[in-house]
Structure 1
Amino acid sequence: MRKTVFFLPGTMCDQRLWSKVWPLLKANYEPMHIPLPDAQNINSMLKTIIEKLPPENINLVGFSLGGYIASALAVNYPERMRRLMIIANSPGALPKSEIEVREKSLNWLKEHDYQGIPHSKIKAYLHTENQDKQNIIKIITAMDLTLGKKVLINQLSNTTIRDDLSKQLSSIDLPILFCTGEQDSLVNRTTLETLTSNNKNLQFQEVEKAGHMLPLEQPERLAALIHHWI
């Protein structure tokens, strides 16, 4: 019998984020996509998502914003979790510089039509060896255009204020694997290394030749990590 694994995407991502990973898992696992709901804040997102999940033994994978949401679910509902994998996210508050970027983006979006994610921003999310790979770029562009301006404003507005969950995660009895690409500039490695250094339940894995978009850049390696983790 195949084990069910639930997947939470990141900002402006949908199930296509996992399109290269899931075919490598389906022989042994049943992947289930849980979209990020529109919400007024992170707590309301948690309440909506937890209602869609089983009462126990949840294998949960979260990417970027979905990784933070997965961490918050584990902190609030540890008795329902079996294993947790956090991709491209560190469970802390956003740095001041990122908050300022988000505020500028929101101000711009209020005054302009949204034409989709700029190519320069996509490249910044990718490892230098992957920045010209059109199959990856097309997926990121398509996800962003499908979700559109309204979703982007909602996600930027209502997920910027985040608690630091590091201490709470380290205190629950739950196997947690943090994965990040070697060129992911959005992840605080110091936080992850400190968090995982003296806790047998917490592990940190860095993946070569990947930036922030690890599921699209190194699907074979990620699928192998998921299999080993479960």
Structure 2
Amino acid sequence: MEQRDYSPLQWANSLEDMLALTQDRVDSYDEQVHLVSFSMGGYIAALLALHPKNQNKIKSLSFVCYDPNGLSKEETLRRKNVLNSLKRAKNTNALSQASLSQYFTTQEVQEAQYPQTVLAMASDLGIGVMRAHMASTTPREDLSSQLSQLSTPQLWIAAQYDKIAKADAIKEHCLRSPSATFELLPNTAHMTPLTSAKDLASLLTAQLTNCN
């Protein structure tokens, strides 16, 4: 029977914690696993996949809205500014409409269910988790060259209007990677699990089926 698990990164206070929690899930299976990741989780999945001990443990990799080239200077600066605001904040109300616009298209941010879901998630996680996650994964190194050398099948899913993990950069990476397949989700931005759930699920299901 097909088994699924997830890495509870909300328990993590550092990059080392994130890697350990995810490694624990990988190690809990006797067979190879399909590693599926989104955004920051892509960075964790990439680091894990590149570790020598996992060479024969991962059957396929699926990256959603993750740029293997690392964070741009602009995005790194933006995150540092957000982090400084979070350090002074007592709760997640520090998330402004402007920061939400980084994750959605103009039309999406006007549709209440999308920003409300992100705000509710932030409130549930708490200000401490948000600080820890952002501090632990900023900046991020360029892993594109190392990932290009992996023989593990890789699916890279980008969003047309993503301001964080830009589609053109991800596509360019895939053109240099023999094991990589590129897919584009049109008319959406970074938060594809919310805005393009069905299309995203179809792409991931096809990848897992093809790699079995």
Instruction: Please report the TM-score for the alignment, with normalisation by the length of structure 1.
Output: 0.80
1:132 paired to 2:110: yes
Equivalent residue, structure 2, for 1:60: 35
Residue 34 of structure 1 corresponds to: 7
Percent identity, aligned pairs only, is 27
Give the C-alpha shift of residue 208 in structure 1.
1.0
1:14 counterpart residue number: none
- Counterparts of 1:152-171 in structure 2, within 5 Å, are 152-171=130-149
The alpha carbon displacement at 1:159 in A equals 1.0
2: CA distance, partners of 1:118 / 1:136: 14
1:207 partner letter? L
Verify the 8 A CA contact 1:94 1:161 in the aligned structure 2. yes
C-alpha displacement of 1:187: 1.2
Structure 1 residues 110 and 220: alpha-carbon distance in aligned structure 2, compared to 1, 3 A threshold? closer
| Residue of structure 2 in register with 1:182 after alignment | 160
Aligned-partner residue type, residue 52 of structure 1: R
- The Cα shift of 1:153 comes to 1.1
Aligned residue in 2 for 1:195 = 173
Q: 1:47 aligns with which of 14, 20, 33?
A: 20
The AA in structure 2 aligned to 1:75 is L
Q: Which amino acid aligns with 2:6?
A: H
**Greater helix proportion:** 2
Q: Structure 1 unaligned runs (5+)? A: 5-30
**Which TM-score applies when normalising by structure 2?**
0.86
SS at match of 1:125: coil
Structure 2 counterpart SS, 1:102: helix
Report the CA distance shift for 1:134/1:190 in structure 2 as closer, same or farther (over 3 A): closer
Task: Tell me which residue corresponds to 1:151.
Answer: 129
Q: Distance in 2 between matches of 1:209 and 1:216?
A: 13
- Structure 2, unaligned stretches of length 5 or more? none
Any conservation in 1 of the 2:86–2:131 contact (CA below 8 Å)?
yes
The AA in structure 2 aligned to 1:51 is D
Aligned partner of residue 61 in structure 1, secondary structure: strand
RMSD, matched Cα: 1.9
Q: Contact between 1:60 and 1:84, CA under 8 Å: does it hold in 2?
A: yes
Q: Tell me if the contact between 1:63 and 1:88 (Cα under 8 Å) persists in the aligned partners.
A: yes
The one-letter code of the counterpart of 2:103 is Y
Deviation at 1:43, TM superposition (A): 4.0
